[in-house]
Amino acid sequence: MASPPDTTIDASTKLEKLNIDAILDFTRLIREKRRAKAKEEELDTKLQNHERHLQLIKGKQEAVEEQMKELEARQRQLIEEEGQHVSKRHELLTDQTNAKDTQDDIRKKMLQLKDMHGKFELDNCDEAKTMFREAVEDGDAGVVKAILYAGALNEHGWIPLITASSRGDVDIVRNLLLAGSDADAKDTVFGRTALNWTSAGGHTAVVQLLLKMTVDVNSQDNDGWTPLRWASEGGHEDVVQKMAL
């Protein structure tokens, strides 16, 4: 008689198979979760990169907009400056015209005074003397020339010559010399000539002009200083060289 089948072994085998299937299912589930998490993290990374990219673009856009504003402001400034330059040029032309008119008026006035008094001297005409002194002090060569043109130069013409020489106003010095100012005359305080004063100031152009008048280059002031010493003490090498020629 045959023995009955062993159902215990079959049950054990089935249980073992079920456990294996469960483990495999659990493993697949874990893998799927990991893949899902990895994809989620990848998506988050892409999203963050996208946001950073958008921020970068936004920053560049803001920078460009700021530069555009600066360029527009600069353009407005340039337009305004150009308008100011045009206005300045207009003012300069107006000033030049007014200066010419003033010089013409002075010439006419000097000629009128000359017609009334003959060849006058500045000491005998307070109005002309004041205008002449102010013109020399202001360095206005045009006015000085206009007054000299009318013959207004007194016996003390060396006083404005020294003033102009000490300031380096070569045009005024030239006009005064042409009008007959004494180039070697000295001031009454320091005993200095025009060459002394202009050498001390280092005014090379005026020094050259005075040297052409054959002035006394060895003239000494009250302290015994010559023009050459004044130039040397002042460190004016160009003037020293001109005198050494």
Q: What is the pTM of this model?
A: 0.46
Domain identity same for 76 and 98: yes
Residue with tokens 């200095």: 192
Domain identity same for 139 and 57: yes
pLDDT value at residue 162: 83
Q: Flag whether 173 is in a domain.
A: yes
Cβ pair 211, 228 in contact under 8 A: no
> What angle in degrees, to the nearest 10, is found between the helix axes of 7-117 and 126-138?
150
Q: What proportion of the chain, given as a percentage, has pLDDT over 70?
A: 68
Selection from 16-30, 57-71, 134-148, 212-226 with the highest mean pLDDT: 212-226
Which residue range is the domain that position 185 belongs to?
156-245
pLDDT value at residue 208: 92
Domain identity same for 140 and 75: yes
Q: Flag whether 18 is in a domain.
A: no
- Domain count for the chain: 2
Domain identity same for 64 and 81: yes
Query: If pLDDT is split at 50, 70 and 90, which confidence band does 145 have?
Result: low
pLDDT value at residue 118: 44
Provide mean pLDDT across the span 105-116: 54
Which residue from 199, 202, 208, 203 is spatially nearest to 177, judged by alpha carbons? 208
Question: Which residue among 153, 177, 202 closes a domain?
Answer: 153
Q: Flag whether 101 is in a domain.
A: yes
Q: What proportion of the chain, given as a percentage, has pLDDT over 90?
A: 18
Domain identity same for 53 and 123: yes
Domain identity same for 143 and 210: no
Domain identity same for 56 and 135: yes
Q: Flag whether 17 is in a domain.
A: no
Interatomic CA distance for residues 220 and 211, integer angstroms: 16
Domain identity same for 163 and 200: yes
Interatomic CA distance for residues 115 and 152, integer angstroms: 12
- Residue ranges of alpha helices (H) inside the chain are 7-117, 126-138, 141-149, 158-167, 170-178, 194-201, 204-212, 227-233, 237-244
Domain identity same for 102 and 184: no
Question: Which residue among 120, 153, 186 closes a domain?
Answer: 153
